[in-house]
Chains A and B, each alone.
Chain A
Amino acid sequence: AQKITQTQPGMFVQEKEAVTLDCTYDTSDPSYGLFWYKQPSSGEMIFLIYQGSYDQQNATEGRYSLNFQKARKSANLVISASQLGDSAMYFCAMREGTWGGAGSARQLTFGSGTQLTVLP
Chain B
Amino acid sequence: DARVTQTPRDKVTEMGQEVTMRCQPILGHNTVFWYRQTMMQGLELLAYFRNRAPLDDSGMPKDRFSAEMPDATLATLKIQPSEPRDSAVYFCASGLRGNNTGELFFGEGSRLTVL
Give me the interface of A with B, judged by CB distance under 8 Å. Answer: 33, 35, 37, 42-47, 50, 52, 91, 95, 99-100, 104-113
Contact = CB atoms under 8 A, between A and B. Distances in A.
Contacts, number: 63
A35 to B, nearest CB: 6
A80 B89 CA distance: 30
A43 B45 CA distance: 17
13 contacts: A37-B106, A43-B108, A44-B107, A44-B109, A47-B104, A52-B101, A95-B102, A100-B100, A100-B102, A105-B33, A105-B56, A110-B43, A112-B42
Contact of B106 (A45, A50, A104, A109): A45
B112 interface: no
Interface of B: 31, 33, 42-43, 45, 48-50, 55-56, 89, 91, 93, 95, 97-109, 111
B89 A100 contact: no
Given A44-B109, A104-B56, 6 more contacts: A43-B111, A47-B104, A95-B102, A105-B55, A105-B97, A106-B102
Contacts of A108: 33, 45, 104
A107 B100 CA distance: 15
Nearest to A43: B109
Contacts of B33: 105, 107-108
B74 to A, nearest CB: 18
Contact of B43 (A91, A95, A105): A91
A110 B42 contact: yes
Contacts of B109: 43-45
A108 B94 CA distance: 11
Contacts of B91: 45
Contacts of B56: 104-105, 107
